[in-house]
Amino acid sequence: MIKDIINEYYQKGYSILPLKNNSKFPAIRWKKYRRRRASLEEILNWFINFKELKFMNFKEPNIGLVTGEKLVSIDVDYPSLLPELFKLLPEAEKTTRVKTKRGFQFYFSNNGYRIRSTKNLFGLGIEL
């Protein structure tokens, strides 16, 4: 299952990192992966062999995606805001999304445009 998700995200061009279990924080030193996407072999090693990798503390990692130049994320903590988001940004219904503890994160390709983060996108308290 996790291997299928990793393959799907990798094929979409996403830069994937392991996150600490039940966390948003990288489980590895990731500075070099801000500019270089990890190979599929590296990624699968992190996720499939996590028990042998001491930095994982023997707990299954979460999947993290590096956002920035090529990928942006919209974080919606209140599901009641989804209809308004879909009305203002119809592409959100079709893009990659993941369930979070409080809502959803939506991922969009970015062609290198400089985008400033905000905690109040569309005046709705949606985080970009």
| pLDDT < 70 positions in the chain | 51-58
Domain ranges of the chain: 2-65, 67-128
Predicted confidence at residue 57, as pLDDT, reads 59
Taking the complete model, does pTM exceed 0.75, yes or no?
Answer: yes
Q: Give, in order, the Cα–Cα distances in Å from 93 to each of 2, 33, 45, 77, 128.
A: 23, 29, 32, 16, 16
DSSP string of 11-27? Answer: HTT--EEEE-TTSSSBS
Task: Give the list of residues 6+ apart from residue 37 with CB closer than 8 angstroms, or none.
Answer: 13, 15, 66
Interatomic CA distance for residues 93 and 86, integer angstroms? 6
Alpha-carbon dihedral angle through residues 116, 105, 95, 34, given to the nearest 10 degrees = 60
Whole-number pLDDT of residue 43: 94
pLDDT score for 56 = 53
| Token pair 């079709």: residue | 94
